[in-house]
Every structure is written in C-alpha cells, then in structure tokens.
C-alpha cells in the first residue's frame, strides 16, 4: 500500500522503537489475572504476548536491514486512524482510558433493587471482574474511539461486559456469537459474513461496527437508550408491542414500566451496575487494571493466504494468543481475498511485519476444492490425496454422510493445487451433506383391515416415523382398508421386500388394469397383449414403481 512521506517516516520510527523495546524487554508473567502494569508503559500490556509462546526468537533472528524495514513499514497501520502518526509518548496517550470512559457517560441512571442485585453479584466475584476487565482492556480503546466518533454515550462501550465478558469467541446456547453476541440472522442484516471459512460476528472490528450501527438504529426508532438496549436484547418488535400495549392501557412507556422477560428486565440494571463499578471501583472493593489511552493493537496487511499457525509464529505468539485478536477464522488458514488484515499487539505487529517481509517459502498448507459431484468422503480423500480421517476432521464431516456436489472442502495444497482461494469462494463457500444410504424404491401398498402405521413399518422393516412422514400422517395413525400407502425400501434389500410380499402370480389378472408410475404420477394403460404383473400379500395389492434405470432415489 502507498503511504505519505510523513506516515512512512512515522511507521519506520515506530518499527525501530518497537523492536528496541522487544530486545530490551525481559520475559514477564503471562497470568491472565496479573494487573501489575503501568498505564504509561507502552510495553507492559504486550510483554506477555511478546514472550509467552517461546517464538520471539523469530523476530530476533530476522535482524532488519533498511530494505526489509522499509518493506515491512508498508504493512502496519492503525485501523482506527489510517494515515495518522501514533505518538506513544504524547501526554494524551499516557492518560488512563478509564478516566476518558467516565467522562463520556451520558445515559440516565437507574437506581433500583435489580441494580443492587447486579452490584452485589460482581462485587462478590473479584477474580471474575479482574479477568473480565483485563480481557476487555485489549479492546476498550478501539470501542470507545468508535463510540466517540458516533457521538454516542460511553456506557455503550461497557456493553460487552454484559454480553460476553469481553470474550470475542463466546457462543451462547441460542447460537449468539462474538463479543457483541449477534444472532445469525441479525449478523447477516449487518453484513457480518458467516460461512465455512469465517464468522464475522467474532471479528473484533466488524462486530463492533455492526453493534454500534444496530444500537444507533434502535435509538433512532425508540428515542431512548434504555429502550434501545432492551430492543438489542429482546428484539425491536417485542419492545414495540410492549409499548403499544401500555399505550392502549394508558400506561407509561419507559423501560421500567414495560412488561418484559426477566432477562431483559435485568439487562439495563446489569449495565448500570458495571457503570457504577467503573465510576467508583473502591466502593465495591474492586480494582480496575490501568489501561493506556492508545491503541492496544495494530492492523497488519496480508496479501497471500496464510496458515494461522504460521501467522502466529511470525508474530511471536501462540495460536491461542493470536486468536484473541483474530477470532473470526473457522479454519486453520486465513484467506487474503477477504481477510486482508490481521490485528496484533504493538510489539508483535512490528515483529510480524519484519518476519513476513523476510519470509521465504510457503505461507499456507491449505486451499479450497469444490466437490465436482456428490461422493463419499473416502472418494473425496482419494481425489485430493489426503487421509480420509484428516479430511473428515478438518472439514467436520459427520459419519455416514455424503458430501454433496458443489460443496467446498478445505484440502491440503499440492504442487498442482497451490492457488490461493478466490474471492468468490472465500465469500460464498458452503458445505452440504446427504445421508449415505442405499437408493430407495417407492412402493404403493393397499392397506388391509386393521393396518396401522406401526404395522406397515414392521412389515417393511422401516421405522414408524418414516411411514408417517411418507404418508403425511401421525405415527399412531390407522389406515382405512383399501387405502394406498407409500413405503420406500432399499433397492438392494430384496429379502426385505420378499418377506412382505407373496410370490407373484404367473398370469396377469384383470386385463386393462392401470399401473402407477413414479416419474410422472400418471396412470398408464398396458399396451395391447402386455401382461402386467401384480403382487399380492395377504390380499393386499402392491405396485412397485421405478425411475430411470429401475429405481427411484430419495436421500
């Protein structure tokens, strides 16, 4: 990417400054709960990341010369303010971010028993609060910057404490995901891509943008931040109906006056409790880790597909640490077509840029392969030259399932399959399965007196649920005598069919009878002199039909 002279100079200076800091920083503790840091020490919050994985030697081994430093400088940028120099020694950067957060509070306060309940819950769990605030300190500067840009109240920057305890990989039982806990459908409404390669609901930058867009839309609709928060938790349609009920009854329509589920009733009081703790942590016998008023992470541009493990090694991080900043990947490879940047702490960002500029050899060991036709996993593994167990594991293919035509599988790179994944696949890849069962033959059976779903199922060795589904009846239904009942049996299971049918008669009866056909659903009269066969079982008529080469397939 191109850069102005001023920006280019600032990035060169930043890389030199950071590398000198890496060289002089001694290994420190990596305990998540450790808060022995100073807000004005730009290395304090990244020290454990620079050394904990034992891969910092990569950065040391890649001693930068001027050409490599210049190449690496074009990879680094602040995703919040691209094009502007970052002065870590500026007075503003040394301020405590918590002071800035407190100064931006603008929402009306709640003061009720539910607020007291939430305060007591947090104050009785200081270890939990320590972990939550320490984790949140990585992302808080970015969020408060975005909040301020939109002229929103700073309380919204605390919402991830309530939603996910600032865990970008959180997944609820209702399938809400990420730091801001987006449901799948809502995420799609706000352009958070979800496919086999990535889930942008977990992306730190994208999910923050989407959450604040959503909250802004809700505030515009309801004109009140408490109601907007209720709608974020409960759904805007539910909040609107609650308001309409109160209007019809002549009641107030503020947050505390509406009838709502307990979870939503407790939602804003929990946020108020966190706000009160941030305002005066000592009042609750709690402490907040100091957080510097500058970005915790930088964006580093990538233009080739890259294994997550390789990226972590180049940055001097463990894979788990790398995923704290880049949690959106579903697979062990990042696709440059849609993941154009990675987020890294300062020290690690500079090391990554320098090591990437010096790297020789492959960056990715995986690529994508589109399945040309529906096939078994064993056949797919043979075609791509992988062990079947590895293919099943990396693609999470369930047992006894076929991979359907058009599905995208992650496969090992080879000399003849070494391309980066295309933008189209990176954005639209999907994976679909079908049960690996024998082809089925459709049969129409004439029910006899007293026949039930269970009786037909037992006779043809299928489940009652299948018979009920095929005939659109309940599992305990009883058929009328003479009613035509549909069953499907495996083509190869001839013994199963014979056990349910009597031997066919050698001569056709009732000349001119019609035969049902599966492919058209029409009735066809036999040609002249033809002798249609008719099978009987205990007086019940059975007509077997086939499609194509003598069989009707259903998966």
- The span from the CA of 531 to the CA of 480, in Å, is 29
If DSSP codes are grouped into helix, strand and coil, which group holds residue 206?
Answer: helix
| Neighbouring residues of 424: CB distance < 8 A, sequence distance ≥ 6 | none
The residues carrying an active-site annotation are 163
- The span from the CA of 527 to the CA of 214, in Å, is 68
Residue with tokens 């890849």: 429
- The span from the CA of 523 to the CA of 508, in Å, is 17
Contact criterion met (CB below 8 Å) for 120 and 166: no
Residue with tokens 């696709």: 335
Contact criterion met (CB below 8 Å) for 441 and 489: yes
Gyration radius of the chain's alpha carbons:
32
Nearest to 269 by CA among 144, 108, 139: 108
Using CA of residue 251, residue 255, residue 256, residue 260, what is the dihedral sign? positive
- The span from the CA of 73 to the CA of 185, in Å, is 39
| Neighbouring residues of 439: CB distance < 8 A, sequence distance ≥ 6 | 490, 491, 551, 552, 553, 554
Using CA of residue 480, residue 547, residue 488, residue 494, what is the dihedral sign? positive
Q: Which helix (H) or strand (E) holds 298?
A: strand 297-301
Say how far residue 443 (Cα) sits from the centre of its chain. 43
Residue with tokens 């599988």: 409
């Amino acid at each position: 990417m191109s850069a102005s002279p001023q920006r280019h100079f600032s990035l060169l200076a930043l890389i030199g400054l950071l590398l000198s800091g890496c060289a002089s920083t001694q290994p420190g503790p990596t305990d998540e709960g450790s808060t022995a840091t100073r807000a004005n020490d730009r290395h304090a919050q990244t020290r454990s990341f620079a050394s904990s994985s034992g891969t910092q030697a990569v950065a040391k081994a890649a001693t930068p010369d001027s050409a490599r430093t210049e190449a690496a400088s074009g990879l680094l940028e602040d995703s919040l303010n691209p094009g502007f120099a970052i002065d870590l020694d500026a007075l503003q950067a040394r301020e405590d971010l918590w002071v800035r957060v407190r100064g931006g509070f603008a929402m009306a306060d709640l003061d009720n028993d539910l607020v007291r309940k939430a305060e007591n819950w947090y104050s009785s769990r200081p270890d939990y609060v320590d972990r939550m605030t320490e984790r949140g300190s990585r992302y808080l500067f970015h969020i408060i910057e975005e909040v301020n840009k939109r002229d929103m109240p700073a309380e919204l920057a605390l919402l991830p404490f309530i939603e996910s305890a600032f865990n970008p990989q959180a997944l609820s039982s209702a399938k809400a995901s990420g730091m801001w806990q987006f449901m799948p459908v809502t995420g799609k409404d706000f352009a958070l891509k979800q496919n086999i390669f990535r889930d942008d609901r977990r992306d730190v930058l994208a999910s923050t943008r989407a959450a604040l867009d959503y909250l802004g839309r809700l505030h515009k609709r309801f004109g009140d931040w408490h109601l907007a928060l209720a709608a974020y938790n409960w759904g805007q349609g539910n909040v609107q109906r609650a308001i309409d009920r109160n209007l019809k009854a002549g009641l107030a329509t503020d947050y505390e006056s509406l009838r709502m589920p307990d979870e939503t009733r407790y939602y804003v009081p929990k946020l108020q409790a966190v706000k009160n703790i941030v305002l005066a942590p000592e009042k609750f016998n709690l402490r907040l880790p100091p957080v510097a008023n500058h970005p915790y992470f930088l964006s580093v541009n990538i233009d080739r597909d890259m294994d997550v493990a390789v990226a972590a090694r180049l940055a001097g991080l463990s894979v788990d640490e790398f995923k704290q900043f880049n949690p959106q990947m579903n697979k062990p490879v990042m696709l440059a077509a849609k993941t154009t940047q990675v987020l890294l702490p300062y020290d690690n960002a500079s090391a990554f840029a320098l090591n990437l500029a010096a790297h020789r050899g492959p960056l990715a060991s995986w690529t994508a392969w589109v399945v040309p036709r529906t096939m078994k996993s064993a056949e797919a593994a043979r075609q791509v030259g992988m062990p079947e167990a590895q293919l099943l594991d990396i693609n999470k293919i369930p047992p006894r399932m076929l991979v359907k035509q058009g599905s995208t599988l992650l496969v090992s790179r080879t000399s003849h399959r070494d391309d980066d994944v295309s933008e189209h696949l990176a954005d639209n890849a999907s994976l679909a399965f079908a049960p690996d069962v024998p082809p089925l033959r459709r049969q129409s059976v004439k029910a006899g007196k007293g026949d039930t779903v269970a009786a037909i199922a037992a006779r043809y060795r299928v489940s009652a649920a299948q018979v009920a589904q095929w005939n659109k009846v309940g599992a305990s239904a009883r058929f009328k005598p003479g009613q035509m009942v549909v069953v499907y049996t495996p083509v190869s299971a001839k013994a199963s069919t014979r056990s349910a049918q009597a031997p066919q008669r050698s001569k056709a009866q009732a000349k001119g009878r019609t035969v049902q056909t599966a492919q058209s659903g029409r009735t066809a009269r036999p040609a002249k002199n033809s002798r249609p066969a008719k099978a009987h079982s205990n007086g019940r008529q059975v007509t077997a039909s086939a499609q194509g080469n003598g069989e009707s397939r259903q998966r």
